[in-house]
Structure 1
Amino acid sequence: MEEKLKWTKLSSEYLFKEQWFTVRKDSCERADGKIIEPYYVFEFPEWATALALTEDNKVLIVKQYRHALGEVCIELPGGCVDSTDETNEDAIRRELLEETGYTFESVHYLGRTSANPSTNSNLMHMFIALGGRKTDIQQLDENEQIIVEEISLDELMELVDEKRIVQSMHLTTVFYALRYLDKIQFVK
């Protein structure tokens, strides 16, 4: 039944292509024969993020300016999966070290999410990192300016309650991490 919902791509044309952002225009056909054109798709690299806990159970948050919103945002550490990363776990461990200077005893995969599956082709891979220790200095990309803070889980929940974390995929990661830690449960 679900196969009847899938589209067939008839043609594709790249309109803009760079390392961090690519736009293509597709022509598609639905199973019922209806042609959908143009359909615009944004291609991004895969992303990885983590709720990162230190050895003493502090949550690492990062603050950085996000130009598209014109705001300094409170986020979880993370970033793009690079071609040099063998796995998504390698990517998040590298990103955690680069952005925060922390290494972690263990990293657990929580799942994947999409910013917008109607237009974006990529996924964000969610992790929880445990047992973090400050082992290095930040190794930021040329355009990054990141403030790292350690907060308690209660302070994290205050940020969520106050709706101060606007990055929706990071909120999704917080949710799955809290479920992993048995801090929230579904009512049956």
Structure 2
Amino acid sequence: MDWKLLESEYLYRVEPWLTLRRDKCETPNGTIVDPYFVLEYPDWVNALAITADGKAILVKQYRHALGKTLLEIPGGVMDKTDADPEVAVKRELLEETGYAFPEVYHLGAVSHNPSTSTNLTHMFLAVGGKKVQEQELDENEEIELVLTDVEEVEKLLRDNRFMQSLHVSCIFFALQKYRSLQSLS
């Protein structure tokens, strides 16, 4: 079922935020698909982060495309200097929240739209967080921390209060992992 890539042309490049590519492909039955547009992004990371005293760290920030301030989990883009997704998520957590986490569990990766985008989002559960510094936000970031009980996160998830689908996926898997860790202790 795999397609054969015949040609590829970059139409627009503003790395790392938006790279648009036009491909010409051939399907197994010989059909030529032209144009097929692909968005290239670097991989992303996110985490349900839980402090040493059992509080989940949520973030509130304005999301311009929707024109709304949303409740989310911390995360962001993998930098080229990040050795792997775990390094990236620890960096993002420290920058956005000021908390460092001794334990992070990789929960897998998901694609926000595999038909048009090349990247994955690596999902994590981070536990045992302690505040070690103030936030180090990018110039266009304004992030408010919201510390809450894990049970409240579960309620917010059930009530469909998280808009970002990649965050919903992470929260779902992270809560399962968190509960399994609790049952072991």
Give the structure-2-normalised TM-score. Answer: 0.94
Question: Are positions 1:65 and 2:62 aligned together?
Answer: yes
Deviation string, structure 1 residues 60-116 (Cα, Å, up to 9, x no partner): 000100000001011110100001111110000000000000001111100000000
Deviation string, structure 1 residues 128-169 (Cα, Å, up to 9, x no partner): 101000110000011100001111111112211221101001
C-alpha separation between the residues in 1 aligned to 2:142 and 2:179? 33
C-alpha separation between the residues in 1 aligned to 2:58 and 2:18? 26
DSSP 3-state at the match of 1:182:
helix
C-alpha separation between the residues in 2 aligned to 1:108 and 1:158? 22
Instruction: Give the aligned partner of residue 16 of structure 1.
Output: 12
Deviation at 1:37, TM superposition (A): 1.0
DSSP 3-state at the match of 2:179:
coil
Instruction: Give the aligned partner of residue 173 of structure 1.
Output: 170
Instruction: Give the aligned partner of residue 40 of structure 2.
Output: 43
State which of 18, 22, 26 in structure 1 corresponds to 2:23: 26
State which of 72, 81, 84 in structure 2 corresponds to 1:84: 81
Question: Gaps spanning 5+ residues in structure 2: where?
Answer: 181-185
Where has structure 1 moved over 2 Å in runs of 4 or more? none
Instruction: Give the aligned partner of residue 186 of structure 1.
Output: none
Opposite residue 81 of structure 1, the aligned amino acid is M
C-alpha separation between the residues in 2 aligned to 1:48 and 1:56? 24
Deviation at 1:182, TM superposition (A): 3.1
Question: Are positions 1:153 and 2:142 aligned together?
Answer: no
Opposite residue 25 of structure 1, the aligned amino acid is R
**Residue identity (%):** 49
Opposite residue 131 of structure 1, the aligned amino acid is G
RMSD value, Cα: 0.9
Give the structure-1-normalised TM-score. Answer: 0.93
Question: Are positions 1:124 and 2:124 aligned together?
Answer: no
